[in-house]
Amino acid sequence: TPLLEVKGLTAVISETKQEILKGVDLVVHHGEIHAIMGKNGSGKSTFSKVLVGHPDYEVTGGSVVFKGENLLDMEPEERSLAGLFMSFQSPVEIPGVNNIDFLHMAYNARRKKLGEPELGPLEFYAYIYPKLELVNMKTDFLNRNVNEGFSGGERKRNEILQLAVLGADLAILDEIDSGLDVDALRDVAKAVNGLLTPKNSVLMITHYRRLLEFIKPTFIHIMENGRIIKTGDSSLAQVLEEKGYSAISAA
Ligand code: ADP
Ligand code: MG
Ligand code: MG
C-alpha cells in the first residue's frame, strides 16, 4: 500500500472560501522522493500546508490516506505523531528559547506521546550530537535562540536538524533551497540524502531545478492552478530548464 494517497483534493482559504486546490492527485510510496514544481502561486505551499492541517485552509473535497489512515480526520499534532514532518517556508523566531532546549522539548513531547521514556539532558545531547555533523553545524549553534539572527542557510540547516531529531515517514520540504548559496544548498541536500532510508519518503517543493541536481527525485510533478498537471521522472527537470513551465502547460 502507498505511504500517501491523495485523490481529488480540493481546498479553499478558510476566511474567503476562495478555492486554491482544485483536485490534487498524488501517490507516494515508501522510499520515493517526489518533487513538486510549478510557477509561483500555483498552489504548492497550500498543498503542503493542507497536508499538515494548517488552519488557514479548509478541505472541501477528495481524500488523503496516510499509512492507511484518513489524514484529514487528524489534528495537526496527530499528523506529526503519525510520521508527517513539514519544514516551513518562513520558520518562526522563538525569542528566549535556545535551540537545544527547543529540540529537546519537541523530541520528548513526541516520545511521551508515543509512550517512550523521555531523555534527560545528557542523553539528548548524545542523541543530537552526531546529527549536528549531518547538517554541518557547530555545537555553539545549539545554544543560540531558535531562528533568532539565523542566516537563511542556518535556518534551513536547522529545519533539517529538526527533521533529523524528530524523524518522519514523510518529510515535506517547502523551498528548502530558497535563498541558499551553493555551499549551503549542498550541505542541506547532503543532510536530506543522509536521512533517506528505503522506508521513508520526501516530498520536496521547489521553484528551481538546482535542488534536483543534489537530491534526485523519483518523480517530478508539475503543479498549475491547484492541480498536478503532469508527472514524469527526473528528466522532466531538463525539459523545464530548456523550455520553461509554459511548454508543459501548453502540452
Ligand atoms: P506557491 O507555493 O505555488 O507559490 P501558494 O500555495 O502559496 O502558491 O499560493 C497559491 C495561491 O493562493 C496564490 O495566488 C496565493 O496568493 C493564494 N493564497 C494562498 N494562501 C492564501 C491565504 N492564506 N490568503 C490569501 N491568499 C492565499
Ligand atoms: Mg510562492
Ligand atoms: Mg510556496
Which residues, 6 or more positions from 192, have their beta carbon under 8 angstroms from its beta carbon? 160, 163, 171, 173, 176, 202, 204, 215
> Would the ipTM clear 0.90, i.e. be above it?
yes
Which bound ligand lies closest to the C-alpha atom of 42? 1
Q: Calculate the CA dihedral of residues 148, 132, 105, 116 and round it to 10 degrees.
A: 160
Per-residue pLDDT tens listing for the chain (251 residues)? 999 999 999 999 999 999 999 999 999 999 999 999 999 999 999 999 999 999 999 999 999 999 999 999 999 888 988 999 987 655 567 777 888 998 999 899 889 988 999 999 999 999 999 999 888 888 888 888 887 888 888 888 888 998 999 999 999 999 888 888 888 888 889 889 988 888 899 999 987 788 888 999 999 999 999 999 999 998 888 888 788 877 777 54
Q: Which atom of ligand 1 lies closest to the CA of 47?
A: 6
The closest alpha carbon to 170, from 21, 34, 1, 8, belongs to 34
Residues 6 or more apart whose CB falls under 8 angstroms from that of 30 comprise 3, 169, 198, 199, 200, 201
- Output the CA torsion sign for 67, 72, 78, 80: positive
Nearest-CA residue for ligand 1 atom 25 is 13
Note down the domain range covering 115. 4-250
Cα first-last separation, the chain = 31
Q: Is 227 in the pocket of ligand 1 (CB under 6 A)?
A: no
Query: Which pLDDT does position 136 carry in this prediction?
Result: 86
Indicate the number of domains in the chain.
1
Provide the pLDDT for residue 77: 85
Task: Assign residue 93 the CATH number of its domain.
Answer: 3.40.50.300
* C-alpha–C-alpha distance, residues 204 and 129, integer Å: 26
Ligand 1 neighbour 45 (Cβ under 6 A): yes
C-alpha cell at 159: 529545519
- Quick one: which ligand is closest to 39's CA? 1
Predicted local distance difference test score (pLDDT) of residue 91: 58
Measured in Å, residue 37 CA sits from the centre of ligand 3 at 10
Report pLDDT for 237: 83
